[in-house]
Amino acid sequence: MEPAQRIRSAVATVSALREAAVKSPALGKAVTEIKRIQSQRFSGTYADLLHGTQYREAAQFFLKELYSEGDYSDRDAQFSRIAGALQRLLPQHAVATAVALAELHVLTEQLDHDMALAWLDVDISSRAKTPSAHYIAAWRSVQRRDSRTQQLNGVLGIGRELQRLTQTPGLRLMLKMMRGPASAAGLASLQQFLETGFDTFASMARQPGGVKGFLELIEHRESELIIRLFETNAELCEAELARLLCVTT
């Protein structure tokens, strides 16, 4: 399948999952709650980076663009509309990064959708406890450990590719020249994402070991979290998750 087709297929799958949530208010509410908890958890796990200096911008970019509870429907629609142009105009590795981002988005939405379904099916005794207990029960009901690892590897891979893109001659100038046409064509959300991602990783790349150090932190902390959510005693896991959520409240 051509890159443009893969991007459009990914966006269509995400749109279908969102439509299912719209048609079922209970499911939609559960999806929103799952995303809210995950966004708050990320903020708690990386509070030191978000309030630090070296990796603050990178952590904020990851939080907003990959772990946020925000609505990406506008950006996705724009992504789908220009998929063909991306395939024609951008370097091959830049197109591959765009495809990887679209397919990571699908995996994330599918996991959130499955979590929301499990959230609704969790035994009432768990539901009556805390959001942390409810979330952990849903996580363990869904399982899909390989998919969680695949999701993390996808995030790390995109980070590495963004670093590589910052080394592509003329790409930053191309992005700057796209501002006017992108705005006129109603592609402002996508344009902002592309420029912010490029600039964030370009800034880190200028620091010795900057991108490598940031991604290693992400890999270590997220891998540890996955292990705890699957293997740690439920009560201890609940206490840790509750602590992370409280960091941001």
Q: Over the stretch 55-91, which tens digit does the pLDDT of each residue have?
A: 898 888 888 877 777 666 776 777 777 677 666 766 6
Q: How many domains does the chain have?
A: 1
Alpha carbon 142 to chain centroid, angstroms: 19
- Please say whether the beta carbons of 210 and 233 come within 8 A: no
- d(C-alpha 219, C-alpha 46), whole Å: 12
Q: Alpha-carbon distance 193 to 52, whole Å? A: 22
Alpha-carbon distance 241 to 43, whole Å? 12
Distance, in Å, from the CA atom of 139 to the CA atom of 227, rounded to the nearest integer, reads 12
Write out the two tokens for 5: 């087709």
Mean pLDDT of 122-137: 74
- pTM, whole model, 2 decimals? 0.85
Q: Compute the distance between CA of residue 232 and CA of residue 140 in angstroms, rounded to an integer.
A: 11
pLDDT band at 166 (very low <50, low <70, confident <90, very high): confident
Domain housing 26 = 3-247
